Amino acid sequence: MLNVDEIMLKLKLVFHSLISFIGFISVVLHIVYSPDSLISTTKLTIHTNLIVSITFLLSSLAILSKKNEIPFLDFLKNCSIIYMFVVIFTYHFLLASGGEYVGIRIITNFTLHYLIPILVFINWIVFEIKKKYSLKFIFYWMFYPLLYTAVSLLRGLFDGFYPYFFLNPNGEIPVGVGSYSNVALFITAFLFVYLILGFLLISLNRIILYFNNKSNIYSKQM
């Protein structure tokens, strides 16, 4: 008979494999069926979903090989939670009205912007061991979004292309935001969101860990 830990590990493997499979398939199809595949490859949604897909593929392989996850994989899982929250909320509140999808991209749009973020959050709640992280991890988790923003702005200076309207200082909404000061305001707002999400993730980890430890101590005393 399988014990509870073995059952949860098998369920974790299935869940991680599912996230990775849906992520890879959705990214590929979303790009292939895009009216302009090159533009699709510049989107942060595509990049972050690739990070998630690779992360959960590596986690699945670690479970299959019965090896402990390396610290960097744990780091990537926490990145995944924060990045997916930004994806779902940015798309829903800023970008959803910016264009219509047709055909298979209706499905991939849903999986990339809604389904995978929800699955990643469920995974964290149900399967991931909660740990005590230092506040400095907030800034580590922000490294890739900052790099993406810097590269996007530099590219825009040379060829005039910006992957999102809020990074474009030229033109007015919905094409751009009209000035570099407005771009700076959007970037500041996003950085604040990343800071808040990082702080909340660390706080929730500590709170859940505290109550789990209390529960374990109580169970041993019974």
DSSP tag of 175: T
**pLDDT (tens digit per residue) in 65-115:** 987 778 889 999 999 999 999 999 999 888 887 667 889 999 999 999 999
Predicted TM-score of the model (pTM):
0.91
Longest CA–CA separation in the chain, Å: 68
CA atoms within 13 A on the CB side of 197: 22
Confidence of residue 14 (pLDDT cuts 50, 70, 90): very high
Tokens in use for 79?
């990145």
CB 58 within 8 A of CB 79: no
**Per-domain boundaries in the chain:** 1-129, 130-222
**pLDDT (tens digit per residue) in 28-71:** 999 999 999 999 999 999 999 999 999 999 999 999 998 777 88
DSSP tag of 96: G
The DSSP line for 7-58 is HHHHHHHHHHHHHHHHHHHHHHHHHHTSSSHHHHTT-HHHHHHHHHHHHHHH
CB 20 within 8 A of CB 57: yes
